């Protein structure tokens, strides 16, 4: 390429301008060519330019320049002779030596899109990025063996991926895409090395399932997360219920303690009242005083029931002799309680004797 650029810089501008001027019949005029005022006629200028072109072509046949990160392929009479490293090289055109071509040794990238099917019958598209380069020492193989290396690499990638992916499920493919890229790299490196190419890296850039499969996967993920959220919600409700039950039990315990203390205070007060009443009123027994107190509590209970009930009407049979009936019922209840207690003691004694 450097040869042709050099030739065009030397021969093209002056030659083109001289020919255009001759076409318009101005060959004897003096004009500025290449920024200078010539002292010769246009015919002489054209003849000089032609000689320069011939000498340039002849000179370029004897040397060439190879760019950095490139390698040249030299032939002699159409047969490969050697590789030319970057720099200036002398050629011998008389012996049939010339530059057949120049190959770049820079890393090239090739993106390959493969459509295949997984083990669970899901069609997916895989995008592989292959980074390869020409091996400098084997550049002659790369130049002569393969006409289209990109198509060759793409064919091998198709073959390896379509042989490996159908043995994997979609989930396994996402988890083991590195293994797929490694398998493709090993196979390509083994094959392309023979043709003078080195496979540097293979990246599994993307895995694209069918749109319906992606939607189903998102729904499964959402359902799993919802299930996990329900589990955490149930655990939270369980803890809340346990705490509520513990609080209720503690409240009942404290309420029971309060009731017990209340009854103890009532009992102490009744005992004190009975003792005081019996000591001050002669001819009264403790039983009579107890009956009087029970009747008083009965009326207090009725009073509280009437005050606390809002929209409820309570009907209680009551008459002039009802007070006496209440006293009789209280006494009968106490007698029945004492009788039941004695029966329990007798049964216990019989069980012990047996």
What's the CATH number where 117 sits?
3.30.479.30
In three-state secondary structure terms, 131 is strand
Answer yes or no: is 232 within a domain: no
DSSP H or E stretch at residue 302: helix 286-308
Q: Phi and psi of 26, rounded to 5°? A: -120, 40
Answer yes or no: is 246 within a domain: no
For the chain, the straight-line distance linking the first and the last C-alpha, in angstroms and rounded, comes to: 129
What is the predicted pLDDT for the residue at 336?
67
Answer yes or no: is 239 within a domain: no
Same domain, 121 and 99: no
Q: What's the angle, vertex CA 314, arms to CA 309 and CA 320, rounded to 5?
A: 125
C-alpha 16/C-alpha 310 separation (Å) is: 121
Taking a C-beta distance cutoff of 8 angstroms, is the pair 288, 280 a contact?
no
At which of 45, 70, 104 does a domain end?
Answer: 104
Bridge partners of residue 203, in order along the sequence = 129
Same domain, 92 and 145: no
Answer yes or no: is 15 within a domain: yes
pLDDT (tens, 9 = 90+) of the chain, 354 residues, equals 444 334 333 444 444 444 444 554 444 444 444 555 455 555 666 677 676 666 666 666 677 888 888 999 999 998 888 898 998 888 888 888 888 889 999 999 999 999 988 888 888 899 999 999 999 898 999 999 888 889 989 999 999 999 899 998 888 888 888 888 998 998 898 889 889 999 999 988 888 888 777 777 778 877 888 888 888 888 888 888 888 888 888 888 888 888 778 777 777 776 777 667 666 666 666 666 666 667 677 777 777 766 765 656 666 665 555 555 666 666 666 666 666 666 656 665 665 555
From the list 213, 197, 60, 31, the residue with the least C-alpha distance to 130 is: 197
Strands across the sheet with 79-84, in order? 79-84, 70-76, 97-104
Same domain, 165 and 90: no
Same domain, 115 and 156: yes
What is the predicted pLDDT for the residue at 260?
79
What is the predicted pLDDT for the residue at 10?
40
Polymer length of the chain: 354
Q: What is the dihedral of CA 65, 68, 70, 73, to 10 degrees?
A: 30
What is the predicted pLDDT for the residue at 111?
92
Answer yes or no: is 179 within a domain: yes
Q: What's this model's pTM, rounded to 2 decimal places?
A: 0.49
Helices (H) and strands (E) in the chain, counts: 9, 8
Answer yes or no: is 57 within a domain: yes
Same domain, 174 and 121: yes
Taking a C-beta distance cutoff of 8 angstroms, is the pair 124, 173 a contact?
yes
Same domain, 204 and 115: yes
Same domain, 12 and 100: yes
Taking a C-beta distance cutoff of 8 angstroms, is the pair 102, 86 a contact?
no
Same domain, 30 and 70: yes
Domain that holds residue 95: 2-104
Same domain, 326 and 346: yes
Answer yes or no: is 265 within a domain: no
Structure tokens at 145: 């063996």
C-alpha 296/C-alpha 304 separation (Å) is: 12
Taking a C-beta distance cutoff of 8 angstroms, is the pair 295, 330 a contact?
yes
At which of 104, 122, 138 does a domain end?
Answer: 104
Same domain, 112 and 205: yes
What is the predicted pLDDT for the residue at 17?
43
Same domain, 82 and 126: no
C-alpha 223/C-alpha 324 separation (Å) is: 75
- Report CA 139 to chain centroid distance, whole Å: 44
Same domain, 96 and 7: yes
Q: How many domains does the chain have?
A: 3
Answer yes or no: is 304 within a domain: yes
Burial-class residue 175 by CB neighbours within 10 Å (0-12, 13-18, 19+).
exposed
At which of 104, 129, 157 does a domain end?
Answer: 104
Burial-class residue 336 by CB neighbours within 10 Å (0-12, 13-18, 19+).
exposed
């Amino acid at each position: 390429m450097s040869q042709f650029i050099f030739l065009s810089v030397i021969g093209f501008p002056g030659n083109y301008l001289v020919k255009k001027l001759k076409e318009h019949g101005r060959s004897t005029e003096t004009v500025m060519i290449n920024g200078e005022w010539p002292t010769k006629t246009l015919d002489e200028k054209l003849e000089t330019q032609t000689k320069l072109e011939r000498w340039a072509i002849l000179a370029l046949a004897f040397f060439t320049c190879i760019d950095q990160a490139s390698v040249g392929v030299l032939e002699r009479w159409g047969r490969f002779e050697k590789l030319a490293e970057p720099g200036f090289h002398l050629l011998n055109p008389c012996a049939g030596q010339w530059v057949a071509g120049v190959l770049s040794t820079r890393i090239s990238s090739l993106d390959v899109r493969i459509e295949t099917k997984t083990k669970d019958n899901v069609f997916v598209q895989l995008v592989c990025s292959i980074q390869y380069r020409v091996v400098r020492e084997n550049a002659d193989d790369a130049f002569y063996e393969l006409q289209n290396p990109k198509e060759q690499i793409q064919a091998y990638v198709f073959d390896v991926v379509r042989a490996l992916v159908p043995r994997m499920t979609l989930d396994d493919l996402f988890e083991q895409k590195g293994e797929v890229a490694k398998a493709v790299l090993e196979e390509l490196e083994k094959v392309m090395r023979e043709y003078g190419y080195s496979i540097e890296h293979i990246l599994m850039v993307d895995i694209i399932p069918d749109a319906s499969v992606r939607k189903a996967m998102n729904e499964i993920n959402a359902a799993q997360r919802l299930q996990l959220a329900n589990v955490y919600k149930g655990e939270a409700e369980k803890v809340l219920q346990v705490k509520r039950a513990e609080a209720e039990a503690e409240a009942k315990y404290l309420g029971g303690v309060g009731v017990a203390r209340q009854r103890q205070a009532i009992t102490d007060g009744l005992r004190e009242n009975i003792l005081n009443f019996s000591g001050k009123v002669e001819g009264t027994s403790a039983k009579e005083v107890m009956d009087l107190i029970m009747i008083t509590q009965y009326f207090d209970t009725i009073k509280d029931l009437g005050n606390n009930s809002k929209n409820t009407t309570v009907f209680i049979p009551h008459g002039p002799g009802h007070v006496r009936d209440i006293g009789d019922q209280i006494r009968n209840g106490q007698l029945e309680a004492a009788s039941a207690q004695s029966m329990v003691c007798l049964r216990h004694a019989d069980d012990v004797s047996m």
